[in-house]
A and B are shown apart, each in its own frame.
Chain A
Amino acid sequence: MCRLLTADRSLYHQTEPWRHPEGAIFRCNGNGAASFAKQSSRGFVLRLTAATMASTEIARQAGEGARAVPLSGHVGFDSMPDQLVNKSVNHGFCFNILCVGETGLGKSTLMDTLFNTKFEGEPTQHNQPGVTLKSNTYELQESNVRLKLTVVNTVGFGDQINKEDSYKSIVEFIDAQFEAYLQEELKIKRTLHSYHDTRIHACLYFIAPTGHSLKSLDLVTMKKLDSKVNIIPIIAKSDAISKSELAKFKIKITSELVSNGVQIYQFPTDDESVAEINSTMNSHLPFAVVGSTEEVKIGNKMVKARQYPWGTVQVENETHCDFVKLREMLIRVNMEDLREQTHTRHYELYRRCKLEEMGFKDTDPDSKPFSLQETYEAKRNEFMGELQKKEEEMRQMFVQRVKEKEAELKEAEKELHEKFDRLKKLHQDEKKKLEEKKKTLDDEVNTFKQKKTAAELLQNQAQQAGGSTTLKRDKERKNFF
């Protein structure tokens, strides 16, 4: 696996300090060279390749004050990769795949085939009103490796008449996973090492096997997704295309992607042990795949295949389709790189944009620390100030209303008083009138009494004077009455 590059032969025998262009000094003293030569030449070559290929890295470290020091015996830190791997094995791994593609392109079947498992689920209907994302998590285990696999499916993608907004729910979903991680990272008390990472590590984009070119929906969607997720385009149900058409199709797709500036995931070629296979595979993109969970007997083996009257398409036969290439790249060679790219590139970009959007900036190195906290607090104070201002306003309004109401009430009171006064006067007037009438009546009664008394007196006088006047008296009496 380790190849001898065109190493500078002069380095083998160098005993003088060798000055690296960046200024660091490496010592290859006789001791060092000898001890490494004792090991297999591979060991020495590795050191050299480390020195030449990753010299910039070592120089960077060395430039920060470190110096390369040869060891005079076995120390034992070569077990570090094992210690790291063991820790990860104990923790388990997470891998999240997003399958984007129109209904009926065989997304679920492909997942089943890739992971050799019949995941539950039934084919979706074609009458979805919008695009929803359905996510299922499974726990898989192979030898001692436990994998928490999450498969997210775009349900209803491409089924609507108006597909302008189709990509939106996908983008929102991906962002939501980034957001959840960001929230966890920003917490004060956080548990990052036991956090279940739901960020999408790989997006398999299923292209319909038309044989012509990409649909505009595909281009638009991929363009929106390429800065958020690692896109691996694949041609679905590729047994529908003939070999010659397929080659043309692939070229057309690749050129369309390039001319539209869509950044698809490139298998990494910086690590020399996988550089070759990765760069070969890069040239085979998009992979033309066929999925099948049914087994057919070919020769004396049971293989996954699709049986037609005119022949059988074997899924794992590389001359029939690129399924094996996809599995190789996605799982066996680059799974870790996909996870790393998601974290160090896509997530960082999201985080940076999100924080800048909220108004945070990095302060210069020589100003006070805690840019995030300070900016946050400044914003918070601003917000509190605004809050207080609003409160004041509300309080003023309240006071105003109270005043108005008070004035109203006073008015009403005044009116009431006036009315009362009026009534009172009225009452007094009436009373006065009554009293006058009463007086008049009393006067009349008195007058009558007086007259009566006078009349009686006269009667008595007349009786005493004789009875002749009785007739007169009677007459008078009659006249009187």
Chain B
Amino acid sequence: STAFVQWVGEKTPISDTSYVGIDAILEQMRRKAMKQGFEFNVMVVGQSGLGKSTLMNTLFKSKVSRKSVQPNVEERIPKTVEIKSVSHDVEEKGVRMKLTVIDTPGFGDQINNENCWQPIMKFINDQYESYLQEEININRKKRIPDSRVHCCIYFIPPTGHCLRPLDVEFMRHLSKVVNIVPVIAKADTLTLEERDSFKKTIREELRANGIDVYPQKEFDEDAEDRMINDKIREMTPFAVVGSDQEYQVNGKRILGRKTKWGTIEVENIAHCEFAYLRDLLIRTHMQNIKDITCSIHYETYRVRRLNESNILFTSNPPDHPAVQPKANGQPEEQPATPQPNGVAAQHEALSHEM
């Protein structure tokens, strides 16, 4: 193929028809990725009965939810929010993925739900913590196992009115540490008009409370990105219906919910927005979701954690003066600021002192 080699600077191409082969790196990268496989960790949060398990099963076309794994366990609502995580190895066309579904039974089910997001917040931060621990080891693994929650799907009950205080509180706290994708659960109880007005109200309330759900505006990389993401933001939250039952409609076998007044086709965008959710989460933005978790949420946690640790450790005498005059009257050098990057600075300061 006639590829050309461009340059920046004072260079001249030798031959216009010569192929170097730089673009072969894409194939090399793809090969390595296929060999390594991918990881994806998704958390579902919402009151019991909103169809979380069914939606997970529908999204991943298999029995991945916790309930499906332990079908015989008696379903009782726990007294506090529990965090239950189940992992699966799935494969499609040679692409292997370790999918972890994290369930949060007990959320929003108590009479008093104050602070019920705290165990969830703690779990998310614990995953960041264990990744950080592994990352700062001297001897560290070739591939640090990633248990960080990439995406948290929040189920909003289809009341049709507005967000409840619990919804706002949860999303307000958690949107700062994890990517939240809010969905309107069991949306087959809303007519299209009710759905649209509900969505509009929700978006207003999110905006009014300063809640940034995925895809966050501030992380759009370029104009093209912004365009695509604006379209998604206009549709948030997705009104979804889940089902793992197949029915015959117009000669095709489709996933749906059969009622006396008709069959709701889950993957039909005229019926519900499941397909948009699936495309966003899996087919187009999965890598981006992971990237935001990795380079923004995790980094934010890391910065906070390292700064906290510094304050904890510099419980030295608070009256330790910042600058001490030497015997010859010159001010002493400020000791290295307590940061890991001060590791090198400390080294320098030591050599200055010696």
Contact = CB atoms under 8 A, between A and B. Distances in A.
A85 B26 contact: yes
B89 A68 contact: yes
28 contacts: A43-B93, A61-B98, A66-B100, A67-B87, A71-B62, A72-B62, A75-B60, A77-B286, A87-B287, A115-B20, A117-B7, A140-B6, A142-B19, A142-B22, A143-B23, A145-B26, A187-B339, A193-B291, A293-B14, A304-B15, A335-B22, A335-B24, A344-B142, A358-B347, A373-B340, A376-B340, A380-B346, A391-B324
Interface in B302-317: 302-303, 306-307, 309-310, 313-314, 316
A394 B326 contact: yes
Interface string A254-296: 0000000000000000010110000000000000000001010
Nearest to B244: A72
Interface of B: 3-15, 18-26, 28-35, 37-38, 40, 59-64, 69, 86-98, 100, 129, 133, 136-140, 142, 145, 221, 278-279, 282-288, 291, 295, 299, 302-303, 306-307, 309-310, 313-314, 316, 320, 324, 326-327, 332, 335-336, 338-344, 346-347, 349-350, 353
Contact of B341 (A67, A187, A304, A362): A187
Considering residues B69, B87, B129, which has the most beta carbons from chain A within 10 angstroms of its beta carbon?
B87
A377 B94 CA distance: 48
A79 B11 contact: no
Nearest to B314: A377
B341 A139 contact: no
A46 interface: yes
A90 interface: yes
B338 A327 contact: no
A30 to B, nearest CB: 15
B146 to A, nearest CB: 12
Contacts of A81: 30, 33-34, 95
User: What DSSP secondary structure best describes chain B's contact surface?
Assistant: mixed
Considering residues B21, B145, B344, which has the most beta carbons from chain A within 10 angstroms of its beta carbon?
B21
Contact of A336 (B23, B28, B87): B28
A383 interface: yes
A69 B3 contact: no
B21 A332 contact: yes
A372 interface: yes
Interface string A57-82: 11001101111111111111111111
Contact of A50 (B94, B316, B320): B94
Interface size class of A (residues with CB under 8 A): 35 or more
A373 B149 CA distance: 25
Interface in A166-195: 183, 186-190, 192-193
